[in-house]
Chains A and B, each alone.
Chain A
Amino acid sequence: MKSFWRIFLVLSIVVLMFSMSFGATYDRSKTLVAGGGLWNTPTNWNPFTPWNATTGTVGLVYETLFTYDPLTDNLRPWLAEKGEWVSDSEYLITLRKGITWVDGNTFDANDVYFTFDISRKYELSYSNIWNYISDVQIVSKYEVKIIFKESRYHEWSYFLYQQPIMPHHVWENMSQSELLETANKYPMGTGMYKYESVGADRMVWVRNDNWWGNSLFGKPGPERIVYMQISGNNVALGMLMKGELDVSNFFIPGVPKIKSFYGLETYYKDAPYMLPENVAILFMDDNKEPMNDSNFRRAVAFAIDTKMIADKVYESQVQPAGPTGLIPIDSWKSYVDTKTETDYGFSFNPAKAKQILAENGYKDINKDGFVETPEGKTISLELIVPNGWTDWMEAAKIMATGLRNVGINVTAKFPDYSVFLSLRQKGGFDMLIDNASSSVSRTPWTYWNWVASNRIYTDEITAGNWGRYENKDLFQKIVDFNFAKDGSAESKKIAAEIEKTLLEDMPSVPLWYNGMWFQASTAYWTNYPTEENPVGYPSTWGGKWQIGGLDMLINLKPVK
């Protein structure tokens, strides 16, 4: 008994200290509590390894030359005042004047030069830009010129709002390994927020009141952002209901049903509630029978009831994908060739699926209810999604049922994520669903470059095209598209050809547009981005602040 009390006492002291050190309470009316983009205790703020960095490191602290708003297709100068192609192979960046780093140093061309130059010197995540640029030059204190070997217009436009600029006076003397391995605690940037503190389950950012953009764009509403690590969507929902969480970027079942009871906002008031963010795609292994037959693959496409998935699994929080898979945002929509879509597109049509199968020799020979290959081999396929990805598991079950209904024997299976990853990268699966790099962007090139990536000639692949669909002609067209100026007639022509090939050959099937999951509580903040008030793309995920998250912060207004 005595020892019990002793343990109890020690525990309570520990708990108390824990809550004192991390549970500092902030004035809620000046604090934004967010969640959905933090899955571990924050331990890294290194902009050179953005995939490890705590959300906000890029965007809130380190800023990019441009930002991008997918709602308006606006590539907006941010650190840059402007950027333009001064010739076919030269891009001149003019920087804003009067920007300082938080430590008081002036932000200027040297920092931009450093950011480019360091990736030439060292092997960094963005060093591949040196595949197509040949030099970077300081023109003046606020002007930098990039010289191109190859004018990859599309890739470049994406890079402009992806790459944060680093302060050269902090980083220039570091070795490659130092640069890549530092946790960079207390990151020092030019951005609207600064590192304040960190807890086991949270990251606290405090507003930089001297931010250079206050006069240009407006001062961000929240004095602090407490970014919570929330273990799952059910916890997030509970917090939203109680007003403990202001902005959630989780997929939360039931939101359509209850949002009005708890004063929750979503981007659209009614279905589809969420903006589209990326495309869930069905990949089929092109090196295996019968998935190596494009007719079979087309039949599969016709057999999937994506509307049912959207309605049942997502309660209409997502939209079924169009045949091209291109998300209907301006930058991608403008490249959809409607004629190609009509001529070669597909939709849920079991009869058509059966017809395609029958026409191409897939018949049920052994009368087990499922078709065999034209050579008479039985077909028994697995459709895999990671175990625990509950929405996809449900979707996969519906897909498998649909496929079985047209005579294709498919079972939905749920390996653990590590097993899934290994199968995805090394091959050996039959069918899988993935959405890894299909996010909205400045250009559909990012989508095609992933869904039909030409980097498939290694044992392990990481760049997409998981089915290892090989079509050199298509690969070349995607390269050509990159070289064609955005919006040019040529680029549209190439886009139509790419779409045609993908639809005819159907190496992968676009399924639905995963949402930019966003639910906001109006307990403390208002003026969130919505359909009527499209002030930003409401994302707080790592790497997405500069495509609208920053705008959301600038526009937030306290309730009181």
Chain B
Amino acid sequence: MSFIDKLKKNDNLYFALRNKKVIIGAVIFLALLITALIGPIIAPYDYEEFAGAPYANPSFQHLMGTSIFGRDVFSQVLYGLRSTFVVGFVGGTLGTVIGLIIGFFAGYRSGSMLDEILMMMTNILLVIPTIALLIILSAYLPYRGVITQSMIIGFTSWPWVARAVRSQTLSLRNKEFVNLSRISGASTFKIIKDDIAYNMFSYVFMVYILQFAGAILTSVSLDFIGLGPTKGISLGLIMQDAVNWNAIQLGMWWWAILPGVVLTVLVTSLYFINTGLDEVFNPTLREM
């Protein structure tokens, strides 16, 4: 069997690799990820170094110009991209995993007291804005690093995952193959694993992508209102810096806008993957 035939047998993979949105999104995402990983190696300067003349337009020497202090914006973006990915991975994973566990148990035990309590918790957290929590937390934490920020985002972003996963679990639980496994004497654990968890994979994968993007956007908005990490650098912090130091009024568009463009491209690539995968996983949308 040739590779193509094998590929064709796995419908999801086959369609994913044929879906332009997925391909474009994935290529951009991977390119940015690689850039972030090797960022410090290819960065021409350190992100805190006074690399050249201040107020410099983008040029070959400074691809994204320099800041008011003469820092190289391109180098800052390379370093900042790393933190942005960290936030996405840590915040997104944490939010997804917590939401998954809670939604899963609530869904599997739906109608029970456990479900009621978990969902009450979820609904309460859903209406408390992350920012309010962060303001309270910041009073207790002397410093916030990127990881701390990601964890806070992760710990506050799970409720809607929990709700979505709960309803998924609920609908899967009532599927007839679950009943068939039950009358085939399968253990509860095996049913949960094979019949419910596996079937949620594609859904959870999409949720994860959205959580990833969501964590990044949340971190940027937090950075922007000054609740970002108190150490390190991220795309949000670069933009916040640019605004604080009047980059817009002073006409330094490269400082204010280019990091935002990179961020937009990153988040857009994720949404591309997401809508693309939506078409892949959902056969009625497979046609293009």
Contacts and interface: CB of A to CB of B under 8 A. Distances in A.
A associates with B: yes
A394 B230 contact: no
Contacts of B230: 387, 413-416
A315 interface: yes
B177 interface: no
B70 interface: yes
Interface stretch (A253-261, A348-356, A504-512): A253-261
Interface string B180-196: 00000000000000000
Contacts of B226: 387-388
B30 interface: no
Contacts of B245: 253-254, 390
A252 B244 contact: no
Interface residues of A, number: 28
Given A394-B69, A413-B230, A253 B246 contact: yes
A218 interface: no
Interface stretch (B125-133, B138-146, B263-271): B138-146
Interface string B6-50: 000000000000000000000000000000000000000000101
A234 B68 contact: no
Interface in A206-247: 232-234, 237-238, 241
A358 interface: no
Given A313-B69, A401-B48, A419-B139, A414 B231 contact: yes
Given A254-B246, A257-B250, A416 B231 contact: no
A3 interface: no
A312 interface: yes
Contacts of A252: 246
A492 interface: no
A418 interface: yes
B201 to A, nearest CB: 39
B246 A416 contact: no
B248 interface: yes
B192 to A, nearest CB: 43
Contacts of A415: 142-143, 230
Interface string B213-246: 0000000000000100011000000000101111
B69 A258 contact: no
Contact of A258 (B48, B50, B241, B250): B250
Nearest to B55: A257
A397 interface: yes
Contact of A312 (B70, B241, B246): B70
A397 B143 contact: no
Nearest to B140: A419
Contacts of B70: 312
A234 B249 contact: yes
B139 A397 contact: no
Nearest to B242: A234
Interface string A390-403: 10001001000100
B50 A234 contact: no
Interface in B64-87: 68-70
B48 A312 contact: no
B248 A234 contact: yes
A312 B231 CA distance: 20
Given A233-B246, A419-B142, A254 B68 contact: yes
Contacts of B138: 416
Given A312-B69, A394-B69, A414 B249 contact: no
A397 B48 contact: yes
B249 A237 contact: yes
A397 B232 CA distance: 11
Contacts of A313: 69
B246 to A, nearest CB: 5
Interface string A101-141: 00000000000000000000000000000000000000000
Given A254-B68, A254-B250, A397-B48, A234 B139 contact: no
A234 B70 CA distance: 19
Contacts of A258: 250
Question: Which among B68, B142, B241 has the highest number of chain A CB atoms within 10 Å?
Answer: B142
B141 to A, nearest CB: 8
Contacts of B48: 397, 401
A433 to B, nearest CB: 15
B55 A234 contact: no
Contacts of B143: 413-415
B244 A390 contact: yes
Contacts of B69: 312-313, 394
B20 to A, nearest CB: 36
A370 to B, nearest CB: 18
B75 to A, nearest CB: 15
B87 to A, nearest CB: 18
Interface string B145-175: 0000000000000000000000000000000
A254 B249 contact: yes
B256 to A, nearest CB: 10
A312 B68 CA distance: 8
B246 A413 contact: no
A413 B55 contact: no
A388 B230 CA distance: 9
A253 B243 CA distance: 11
Contacts of A411: 231
A387 B145 CA distance: 13
Nearest to A419: B142
Contact of B246 (A237, A388, A414): A237
Interface string A282-322: 00000000000000000000000000000011010000000
A387 B226 CA distance: 8
A64 to B, nearest CB: 36
Given A234-B249, A315-B54, 9 more contacts: A234-B243, A253-B246, A254-B245, A312-B70, A387-B226, A387-B230, A411-B231, A413-B143, A413-B231
13 contacts: A232-B244, A234-B248, A237-B249, A258-B250, A387-B230, A390-B245, A397-B48, A413-B230, A414-B143, A414-B230, A414-B231, A416-B138, A419-B142
3 A-B pairs with least C-beta separation:
A414-B230, A254-B250, A415-B142
Interface of B: 48, 50, 54-55, 68-70, 138-139, 142-143, 226, 230-231, 241, 243-246, 248-250
Interface of A: 232-234, 237-238, 241, 252-254, 257-258, 312-313, 315, 387-388, 390, 394, 397, 401, 411, 413-416, 418-419, 423
